[in-house]
Amino acid sequence: MQPPDRLDLVLQGGKIVDGAGNPWYYGDVGIRDGRIEAIGRLDAVESVARIDVAGLVVSPGFIDPHTHADRDLRQLPHCQNYLHQGVTTVVGGNCGDSLYPIGETLDSLRALPLGINFAQLLGHGTVRQQVMGMADRPATGQELSAMADLVAQGMAQGALGMSTGLRYAPGCYAQLEEVVELSRVVARFGGVYTTHVRDDSGDSVGLVPATEEAIAVARRSRVPVQISHLKATGRDEWGKAPLLVGMIEDARREGLDVTFDQYPYAATGGRLSGTLPPRWALEGGHEKFKERFRDPAIQQRIREGTMANVDRRGGPDAIFVARFAPDPGLEGKSLALIGEGMGLDAVDAGLEMLSVSDGYIVVFSLKDGDVDHIAGSPLGMVGSDGNLADFGVGTPHPRCYGTFPRFLARFVREKRLLTLEEAVRRMTSAPANRMRLGPRGLLKEGMIADITVFDPEAIADRATFDEPHQHPVGVEYVIVNGQVALENGKSRGVSPGHVIRRAGSA
Ligand SMILES: [Zn+2]
């Protein structure tokens, strides 16, 4: 290849970890017009700018296939908590809940000053709500075909695929048949199916049957399946990680394309409504819940179901309030402590809160052994399951700030569960392929210049459950679509991000 006559930027002298899993090598990376123009010895080539990255790793920008960034993208378009982790693309719309409609939304998001790239899945719960409201019953034939039309429309408009949240209302009201039928539409468009499985904590059908259901969707619709945030939550499911990973390996042997993502923490995060009350109590939405809660006879049944759920998750000492708008003073406190403060049983305190508003919580309900086992599988990717964070506001799950650096610090450097090259592959080319993001996720000539430069000895998360608003250390430069967005660990406040549609969509 003829060397280019002039580059915009050269990253000089780093260790290149290409994202494909190859062993690192020394080289310069040359960027022009937002693309990787050349890789090799580029010290003789003219360039507008050069950055000396000797001693640092140069890798593709990290891609987070599992976020809820769409929820607050309009308020927080700079996505600073992801940029500081070295993440250059986030995928929103997971767990069944997404912005809607896809086409108009993606068009309008293009006007935002995006700090990094954004792509979107279509939520099955969102589609179901369009057609059936919060009805707790199987779809009729007519409703199913109306939903299939909406899924086809969303896919044509650039959704990467469809997500389900079968644990949550209204997704939990859908049976396998409905999911299979809609997944066939997704498969026809070459999209991916991501799923928060029906039960990941043993509070309804059980974790193993719920995972079997996800695999059955692959078998029957032939859609690629990504099991979201694979984990074994709660007393009844602890120790099942080897079984789960084994099931996924078996599925692949059978010819089913099943993979998963994971966040590197032993605590889950979600809404009060998703953790405390029994499913049936939420049918019809939050207003219906409040109505039921006011009926003493029903309240007692809700209470019993909630006690069982709380116990399964490790008890009220394991559940912490992360965000509760009506009373921010409760944020950071455990349900046990809040109960004491209110002079109530912890379960009643939680239900009282929920009867006012649906807040966010963090639950310490995972075992390190399970987390580590899952991290050891090459079928996994890294996904934060996080939200955009408003620096200093609330007590979000630290995964919003720390997921990617933490994975590298804990699982690569400390525990040596995998090599750096393999970890980077799972953060870059693996999700880029899975989500069909086009020319991203690899350091290779012609690819889009989304690049992260970090110190492999220093990279680490800083965010904790008590003090989550802390950016990680060791991430030195982040380049998004050819523009330097993070320099010497500091955000430049630029907006180089793009809205990405599924490769091949209109
Ligand atoms: Zn989820």
Out of 411, 439, 467, a domain closes at 439
Residue 274: pLDDT band by 50, 70, 90 thresholds? confident
Residues of the domain holding 205: 61-266+366-439
Q: Kindly give the distance from the C-alpha atom of residue 168 to the centroid of ligand 1, in angstroms, as a whole number.
A: 9
pLDDT digits (tens, 9 = 90+) for 49-87: 999 999 999 999 999 999 999 999 999 999 999 999 999
Q: How confident is the model at residue 506, as a pLDDT?
A: 61
Same domain, 146 and 79: yes
Q: How confident is the model at residue 465, as a pLDDT?
A: 86
pLDDT digits (tens, 9 = 90+) for 383-393: 999 999 999 99
- Lowest-confidence segment of 94-108, 185-199, 276-290, 416-430 by average pLDDT: 276-290
Distance separating alpha carbons of residues 62 and 349, to the nearest angstrom: 40
Say if 287 falls within a structural domain. yes
Same domain, 177 and 83: yes
Say if 20 falls within a structural domain. no
Residue 3: pLDDT band by 50, 70, 90 thresholds? low
Q: Kindly give the distance from the C-alpha atom of residue 48 to the centroid of ligand 1, in angstroms, as a whole number.
A: 44
pLDDT digits (tens, 9 = 90+) for 215-261: 999 999 999 999 999 999 888 899 999 999 999 999 999 999 999 99
Q: Kindly give the distance from the C-alpha atom of residue 352 to the centroid of ligand 1, in angstroms, as a whole number.
A: 24
> Which residues are CB-neighbours of 318 under 8 A, at least 6 positions away?
334, 363, 364, 365
For residue 213, the SS3 value is helix
- Lowest-confidence segment of 72-86, 150-164, 360-374 by average pLDDT: 360-374
Same domain, 136 and 280: no
Say if 492 falls within a structural domain. no
Q: Kindly give the distance from the C-alpha atom of residue 124 to the centroid of ligand 1, in angstroms, as a whole number.
A: 13
Place of tokens 């034939």: 141
Q: Kindly give the distance from the C-alpha atom of residue 393 to the centroid of ligand 1, in angstroms, as a whole number.
A: 22
Q: Kindly give the distance from the C-alpha atom of residue 459 to the centroid of ligand 1, in angstroms, as a whole number.
A: 27
Phi, psi of 25 (to 5 degrees): -145, 160
Q: Kindly give the distance from the C-alpha atom of residue 166 to the centroid of ligand 1, in angstroms, as a whole number.
A: 9
Q: Kindly give the distance from the C-alpha atom of residue 23 to the centroid of ligand 1, in angstroms, as a whole number.
A: 33
- Total residue length of the chain: 506
Q: Kindly give the distance from the C-alpha atom of residue 196 to the centroid of ligand 1, in angstroms, as a whole number.
A: 5
Same domain, 121 and 172: yes
Q: Kindly give the distance from the C-alpha atom of residue 326 to the centroid of ligand 1, in angstroms, as a whole number.
A: 24
Same domain, 407 and 340: no
Out of 439, 467, 492, a domain closes at 439
Q: Kindly give the distance from the C-alpha atom of residue 292 to the centroid of ligand 1, in angstroms, as a whole number.
A: 26
Give this prediction's pTM: 0.92
Say if 33 falls within a structural domain. no
Residue 447: pLDDT band by 50, 70, 90 thresholds? very high
Q: Kindly give the distance from the C-alpha atom of residue 26 to the centroid of ligand 1, in angstroms, as a whole number.
A: 39
Q: Kindly give the distance from the C-alpha atom of residue 207 to the centroid of ligand 1, in angstroms, as a whole number.
A: 14
Residue 201: pLDDT band by 50, 70, 90 thresholds? confident
Same domain, 148 and 286: no
Out of 327, 361, 395, a domain closes at 361
Say if 341 falls within a structural domain. yes
Say if 24 falls within a structural domain. no
Kindly provide the b/e burial profile for residues 343-378, where b requires at least 16 CB atoms within 10 angstroms of the residue's own CB.
Answer: eebbbbbbbebbbeebbbbbbbbbbeebbbbbbebe
Q: Kindly give the distance from the C-alpha atom of residue 172 to the centroid of ligand 1, in angstroms, as a whole number.
A: 13
* Count: domains in the chain: 2
Q: Kindly give the distance from the C-alpha atom of residue 255 to the centroid of ligand 1, in angstroms, as a whole number.
A: 26
Q: Kindly give the distance from the C-alpha atom of residue 111 to the centroid of ligand 1, in angstroms, as a whole number.
A: 28
Identify the CATH number of the domain in which residue 169 sits. 3.20.20.140
The residue-averaged pLDDT of 373-386 equals: 97
pLDDT digits (tens, 9 = 90+) for 393-435: 988 899 999 999 999 999 999 999 999 999 999 999 999 999 9
Same domain, 184 and 225: yes
Q: Kindly give the distance from the C-alpha atom of residue 328 to the centroid of ligand 1, in angstroms, as a whole number.
A: 24
Same domain, 301 and 314: yes
Say if 460 falls within a structural domain. no
Say if 501 falls within a structural domain. no
Tell me which amino acid residue 63 is.
I
Same domain, 100 and 220: yes
Q: SS3 string of 142-178?
A: HHHHHHHHHHHHHHHCCCCEEEEECCCCCHHHCCHHH
Same domain, 274 and 261: no
- Are the C-beta atoms of 87 and 495 separated by less than 8 Å? no
The residue-averaged pLDDT of 15-19 equals: 98
Same domain, 99 and 218: yes
Q: Kindly give the distance from the C-alpha atom of residue 406 to the centroid of ligand 1, in angstroms, as a whole number.
A: 20
Residue 291: pLDDT band by 50, 70, 90 thresholds? very high
Same domain, 199 and 294: no
User: Which of the two residues, 465 and 385, has the higher pLDDT score?
Assistant: 385
